[in-house]
Amino acid sequence: MRHVIYVISCAFAVILAIAALITVDTRHTRQNELDNALALCCDETMRNTYDSLAYLTITQEAFLAEFNALLTDKISRGESAKDENLSLQVDVAGLDLTEGMFSVKVTEYFTYPNGNIGHVSSSRTTVYEEGAYGI
């Protein structure tokens, strides 16, 4: 009987360890996904704006709408596609289209496999430089 209790205790400890590893991996995966998506979206939005010389006529609202659309598309294609509780909070720290500066912080809220809500944040500042985007 003592061995049965020992085996059950060990099995329970292994299950808890696996659950902890899955939780840590989920957070790490979401953080990498957000970092990569944010970098791509900032660069792509700046490239689209400055390649077409749209910065001369585009409004800040239109620029942010394009950025939000790209970010939502990139995030919803990744691991987050399976999460029904996914939400993004975008905080713009600075945007100056004439000087070519864009600074943003994005917080992603998601569900862990155990049902708890978690979040990861990433921030990025992109500065336009002549020739950096193919001009």
Q: How confident is the model at residue 124 (pLDDT cuts 50, 70, 90)?
A: very high
Q: How confident is the model at residue 34 (pLDDT cuts 50, 70, 90)?
A: very high
Question: What b-and-e string marks burial along 70-108, b requiring 16 or more CB atoms within 10 Å of the CB?
Answer: bbbebbeebebeebeebebeeeeeeeebeebebbbebeb
Q: What is the pTM of this model?
A: 0.77
CA-to-CA dists, residue 63 to 60, 68, 99, angstroms:
5, 9, 14
Q: pLDDT digits over 55-91, tens only?
A: 667 788 989 999 999 998 888 776 555 777 788 899 9
**What's the rounded mean pLDDT across residues 124-132?**
78
Alpha-carbon distance of 78 to 37, in angstroms, equals 9
Q: Percent of the chain, pLDDT > 90?
A: 30
pLDDT at 70: 92
Q: Residue 107 pLDDT > 50, yes or no?
A: yes
Are 70 and 82 within 8 A, CB to CB? no
pLDDT at 6: 86
**What's the rounded mean pLDDT across residues 35-39?**
93
